[in-house]
Structure 1
Amino acid sequence: MLEPNPLKDGSDDSWVPKVGMEFESEMEAYQFYDNYAKRIGFSIRKNRLNRRASGVISLRVYVCHKEGFRGNKKEEWEVKNPKLYERTGCLAALTLKITNNGKYRVTDFEAKHNHPLVIPNKAHMIKWRRISKDRGVLAEDSRMIPRADDEVMNGHAGDHQHFINPSLTYKNYLQSKRASAVLPGDAGAALQYVQERQIDDPSFFYAVQLDKEDRVANIFWADGKSIIDYDYFGDVMCFDTTYRSNNYGRPFAQFIGVNHHMQTVFFGAALLYNETLESFKWMFETLKAAMSGKQPKVIWIEQSTEISDAIAAVWPGTVCHFSMWHVYHDAAKHLSFAFQGSKTFALDFSKCVYEIEEEEEFQSLWKEMLEKYDLKDNQWLAKLYEDREKWALPYSRHIFCADMKSTLRKEDLSTELKQWLCPELDLLQFLKHYEKAIDDRRHAELQADFQACQISPTIPPTRMLKQAANVYTPEVFKLFQREFEMSMDCLVYTGGELGPIADYKVAAEGEPTEYIVRVDISDGTLICSCKKFEFMGIQCRHVLKVLDIVNIKELPQRYILKRWRKDAKAGSMRDTCGFAFLGDSTSSKAKRYGSLCRIFNKIAARAAESLEAYTLIEGHLDQLMDHVYQIMQNKPFEKH
């Protein structure tokens, strides 16, 4: 027998039923026991009932939904799905009797259950209510969860962090069966994981999509730190679906980005058992909901028409580009004979993918590679070349990538996780390992934050380098410093002037390629034909050389991106949490509540990293609450 222990921390037990408790009505007692059941992890049914001649209920028994045993007798209501949950003869129950004063008193309370309980605070996952015959009853199976519309219909729809987002309800169901089979126990393990995480992290967001048989098709989740990181660094994102081409055993995908230290950050993860256009639309809609509607400027994906079309539908205006990293990994699969049959092919192909920035050089080297390795008739390479504008560097220099290609090459997390995704291992093992991998990288970010503020690099006494060292993180400063040093070897030729606009031809000594730098002194605009700033957000050597020539000794502030600064995560909360509705008398409580939750989530995430910061915030809470109380005392109650 399993006896729940809800009071491990010695907290208030007023919500736990006790013999002798009295309630004003039978309905009040029902609500009390139902709330208790949700917190413990089971659901209740109304069972025995006695009435007096007047019709007044004199005795009522509520039982666990697994009370009794299910026989062959058909239930009194019809069901759409015949796979009903199993009853185990559980004896947990609450008995009420009416007293002489008309109140209902608890005369018997059995707390022990003979079956496992669901994670506390997640009883909405097992709502075994009698519902209309056109809705059906859902099986208590690790692969089955309640319908979203039943959840709303019964008045138990959770907040936006639960598995159903009401605004997405119509998209939460596939019209087909899921494409990939869920391994035994995986759906239950995944749901257990996200439920446990949400208990520890109130900002944790997860969502589940079902197929037409009400079975889990896709699961998405993002913890509170991921949501905060997306707010800071979600301008550029990679949707990593390496599992599709490498057959890792489980359909795991992740949304990743790059922080101000050039490190990988994680925005969310998913298990995708269905890979249709409809499923990918749901995935991006769900991510959009988790991130309060904010969409990335650029997203890097694998070569997939379904994913591209889904992004175009959900995020109009977001640039969708094929990830060079994915292109290389796909090539390793489709051209395995070339990789294995030559010691130099990998190097030559890698150069085409990652290094060549000029169109003419790219085309020349590509043609040379096809001839050298006798690949002129290879259809996969022909299609890849046909799509070159969607992935090759010479055609994407105008697209900001936050140097994602370098970060992904340095740190291939998917390869590290591959061994944990194999079907022979329990899914929970993988999820725990994935969580630890993320925690390790977040710890590295904290260390980098500390070092950026405490350790100053040794730099020459030049104003521009001093300026850069003060504002950029060390990793970004290294890149800038290299451009600055390389600018010393550049030669400048005047190309012509037209009013406030001047063009300069810049070339590295001994190099034939010339770049055009345009300077507009009327508004301080600096543009170089190499497009390095547009691509990486760091000014190039050619612009730095021209600035020196025209006696500008500091980099204009507009060319120091906030995302590369040491204080990338500082600044006004209004700038990052969204206050578009402030001052709008029609703004709703829900909007204000959501915005405040995001604000306090950010504060909590930062303050939790330090005991001193935590103590500071804790010390101001009472004072803050007093101010709020005073405002509420002097203001009329607002309904909306």
Structure 2
Amino acid sequence: VEIPLLNHLGWNQTPKNNFQVKMMIPDLESECAPINMIVNYSINGVQDMGGVDFKNMTTTDIMMYDFPNLEVAFTFYNWYARMHGFCSRKSKKKKNANKEDVRQEFVCYRQGFREDRFKDNKIRQREAKPITRCGCKAKCVVSVNRITQRWSIRSINDVHNHPAVKELFIGFLPGHRGMDDDDIIQMNHYKNSGIRTSQIFGTFANQVGGYENVTFSQKDMYNVVDKDRRSKGTDSRAALAYLRSLKSSDPAMYWKHTVDKEGRLQHLFWSDGRCQMDYNIFGDVLAFDATYKRNRYLCPIVIFSGVNHHNQTTVFASAIVANEIEETYVWLLECLLEAMKGKMPKSVITDGDLAMKNAIRKVFPDVHHRLCAWHLIRNATSNVKSNRFTHLFRKLMLCDYEIVDFERKWNDMVIECGVHDNNWVLDMYQKKEMWAAAHIRGKFFGGFRTTSRCEGLHSKMGKFVNYRNNLTEFLQHFNQCIEHLRYKELEADYLSMHGDRMVQTEFHLLETNASKVYTKNVFFLFRSIMRKSCAVKVVGCKQTASCFIYIVNKYCRSDCEWHVSYWPISMELKCSCLRMESIGIPCDHIICVMVYMNMVEIPSALVLDRWTKNAKDSVNYTSQGQSGGWDSMSVCRYKSLNHRCREINNLVCKNPEAYAETMELLNDIYGHVKSKYEVQPEDGKKIEGHGDRYLQNPLTAKTKGRVANVAGRAGNKRKQTQCGFCGITGHNKQTCGAFKKQKTFVDKSKTTDDDGHDDDDDDDDSGGGGDDDDDDDDYRG
């Protein structure tokens, strides 16, 4: 029996197993009897729809298909609708006595009318959507066969009372937009990498050859993200569940949280095993600061950080807090001590917050607390309106003065600038042990003078997290930020271990030895100090019972003098400038003495282990402390498979024979993989703990600092615009009528100048600055 309808539908070959042709011939007794034949074309999934010619399909043709379930039937009809300029949606449904679906109506998206209560609503927060429903009667009815349990089209009305949508705009119809599971998986991979949703949409467009080819809109992506957030229940419980899941791959994972009286999450502190081991090596210097607007609740993020052997920022612990009072910081520092097995830092640097200061005094009573130099300069500028004072104050803060010289210069500055009665200046003098280099020399800070490392870390973190993230998303994306920092450290390890540095100074042997001992970045710092050592020289030596004391002067400056003590037995050198004790790297005065003594290697007493290439040799990073973040190997495998599938798509999508052959192979592969590797979910597995079952989300925090809207601050009004030309408020120089008149007059006078030259001179802008009587003798090296 010939079936010409197959050719009409675009099938030019014998149907495969997934496309069945069923013929029912009830009467074959008489040769002259007519053959009554009913042909059903079975569609078992999306893979069978690629060879159907929907564009030329009629209503008679579409009724000859059957489907395994309701979803496949709806997808089939929606593909038909796409090729005919409309989209469909599900409408009335009928169930049997067993509550099973037996009948379903698919209607045109413009079926029905908008209810009057929505049209007459005068109180709206946003513009109403355009009315698209016009009472279209087009519909398709499908029902299930009780014997075969397959769905088939029972009736169809393909008459519309509206024009068809142009092919150019068909992708914008709601029924043809949406993200499938593969799109969602790929989007989540991008989100876990810190890529924002708007940028992810551009990535999808690049993959399919343009934005118009993406099967969903950017709004659809945001809807999927929002739906996923709501499906996880309470955000606080999901965040704790995420931290709990990390412990399965990181046994050293530590976290702790508190709740308020209403059962809301208040504070959350966490530190993984890798952070704890980094603190064990580099925790001699601790810096912490708060950053804002990094999550949906505007809760401040407190990050405890330090500096590693590459002079890079490393994170020890992090916390989300509801407020920044003294009790909160005390709790955070106690959690830090507990996580780090009681090890205290030697030095701490903060931005000068009073709550931080009091908390440090209680929990870390013996550490050296230093105030951030950048914040002090900013406060000096705002509290004392004098550029001269800011200049002198900066020198007093950063230069290595002796205490006697510091006191003398402080008194001279107070008298010169007339700030003897300024409360801020008096308060800073009382805190001089926390910021003046003259008082903190010899205390190890590892090169820290400001919290700029914290600010830089906050800037890097802004690439991964933003104020739209809930707690769970913040933890996931913040973990990606930490992974990025660790990758940069791994990269620096490689650059330090491989290759030999080119010698660039005259001290070849000493420089070569330093390049083998120090990491790349620290070696560069040491080499710059070596160059500076050429500007000093040894002018004398004194011998005592146990050591030699070398006198070092600056070149052509006999008043700049330092004393370097050398103990021959222990090969130890100490300088009066105490920079070796402050930074952990030999100063230029010590290097000058080493060159004077013809040393070709840096004595071990001068090598601080935390700056060397072998700083982490005492810790095994491969056996523990690995981060439990997203599976990077899984992402790589997914990307590789996705790339190969795209290549196959490009090769076979335009060839019907190649498409049919490839689809058959893919069906076989899919069935094999699903039966062998599909993981069944565990029943009854809970991710919540016993104590956080009723934990609620935190309230939106009220952070420190000024209100975002300057005009809204109590007692302050927005300053009116004042013209810089006439001095009248209400306009600026560009809109000033008087300025425009004068400008027009000047332009006319220039055009009538016989010489054609501009007579304006710049005598008033000579740029002469104030006299600076501070010479190089104010510096000690």
- Report the TM-score, using the length of structure 1 for normalisation: 0.54
Question: Deviations for 1:96-126, whole angstroms, at most 9, x for unmatched residues?
Answer: xxxxxxxxxxxxxxxxxxxxxxxxxxxxxxx
Q: CA deviation at 1:400?
A: 0.6
Greater Rg, structure 1 or structure 2? 2
Q: CA deviation at 1:542?
A: 1.1
Gap change, CA 1:258 and 1:357, over 3 Å in 2: farther
- Residue in 2 that maps onto 1:600: 623
Matched, 1:324 2:403: no
Matched, 1:265 2:314: yes
What amino acid maps onto 1:224 in structure 2? G
Alignment of 1:466-545 (within 5 A): 466-511=512-557, 512-545=559-592
Matched, 1:562 2:609: yes
What amino acid maps onto 2:606 in structure 1? Y
Give the Cα separation in 2 of the matches to 1:323 and 1:376: 22
CA contact 2:255–2:270 (8 Å) conserved in 1: yes
Gap change, CA 1:210 and 1:271, over 3 Å in 2: same
Secondary structure at 1:241 match in 2: strand
- Residue in 2 that maps onto 1:440: 484
Aligned with residue 291 of structure 1, among 340, 345, 361: 340
Gap change, CA 1:320 and 1:422, over 3 Å in 2: farther
Gap change, CA 1:221 and 1:350, over 3 Å in 2: farther
Name which of structure 1's ranges 423-432 and 294-303 shifts more when overlaid on structure 2.
423-432
Alignment of 1:216-615 (within 5 A): 216-241=265-290, 249-304=298-353, 306-315=355-364, 317=366, 319-325=367-373, 328-329=374-375, 332=378, 335-336=381-382, 350-355=394-399, 358-359=402-403, 375-405=419-449, 408=452, 412-415=456-459, 417=461, 426-459=470-503, 460=505, 462-511=508-557, 512-571=559-618, 600-601=623-624
CA contact 1:238–1:255 (8 Å) conserved in 2: yes
Q: CA deviation at 1:441?
A: 1.9
Give the Cα separation in 2 of the matches to 1:518 and 1:404: 26
Gap change, CA 1:266 and 1:211, over 3 Å in 2: same
Give the Cα separation in 2 of the matches to 1:264 and 1:547: 31
Question: Deviations for 1:535-555, whole angstroms, at most 9, x for unmatched residues?
Answer: 010111111222233343322
Q: Report the number of matched residues.
A: 394
CA contact 1:207–1:219 (8 Å) conserved in 2: yes
Gaps of 5+ in 1: 1-183, 574-597, 612-640
- Report the TM-score, using the length of structure 2 for normalisation: 0.45
CA contact 1:243–1:253 (8 Å) conserved in 2: no
Give the Cα separation in 1 of the matches to 2:580 and 2:495: 26
Question: Deviations for 1:396-441, whole angstroms, at most 9, x for unmatched residues?
Answer: 1111111123783596223555798876664455444433332222
- Residue in 1 that maps onto 2:135: none
Name which of structure 1's ranges 301-310 and 443-452 shifts more when overlaid on structure 2.
301-310
Gap change, CA 1:365 and 1:498, over 3 Å in 2: closer
What amino acid maps onto 1:480 in structure 2? F
What amino acid maps onto 1:401 in structure 2? F
Question: Deviations for 1:555-581, whole angstroms, at most 9, x for unmatched residues?
Answer: 2112111111111111376xxxxxxxx
Give the Cα separation in 2 of the matches to 1:426 and 1:523: 57
Secondary structure at 2:495 match in 1: helix
What amino acid maps onto 1:434 in structure 2? F
| Percent of residue pairs identical | 31
Gap change, CA 1:503 and 1:242, over 3 Å in 2: farther
What amino acid maps onto 1:556 in structure 2? P
Give the Cα separation in 1 of the matches to 2:418 and 2:328: 40
Secondary structure at 1:600 match in 2: coil
Give the Cα separation in 2 of the matches to 1:307 and 1:261: 28
Gap change, CA 1:316 and 1:366, over 3 Å in 2: closer
Structure with greater contact order relative to length (CA < 8 Å, sep ≥ 6):
2
Give the Cα separation in 1 of the matches to 2:383 and 2:282: 39
Q: CA deviation at 1:263?
A: 0.3
Gap change, CA 1:510 and 1:250, over 3 Å in 2: farther
Give the Cα separation in 2 of the matches to 1:558 and 1:610: 44
CA contact 2:303–2:317 (8 Å) conserved in 1: yes
CA contact 1:324–1:354 (8 Å) conserved in 2: no
Question: Deviations for 1:70-119, whole angstroms, at most 9, x for unmatched residues?
Answer: xxxxxxxxxxxxxxxxxxxxxxxxxxxxxxxxxxxxxxxxxxxxxxxxxx
Q: CA deviation at 1:219?
A: 1.2
Q: CA deviation at 1:610?
A: 12
Give the Cα separation in 2 of the matches to 1:358 and 1:411: 31
CA root-mean-square deviation: 3.9
CA contact 1:249–1:421 (8 Å) conserved in 2: no
Q: CA deviation at 1:446?
A: 0.9
Secondary structure at 1:219 match in 2: strand
CA contact 2:534–2:592 (8 Å) conserved in 1: yes
Secondary structure at 1:250 match in 2: coil
- Residue in 2 that maps onto 1:209: 258
Secondary structure at 2:444 match in 1: coil
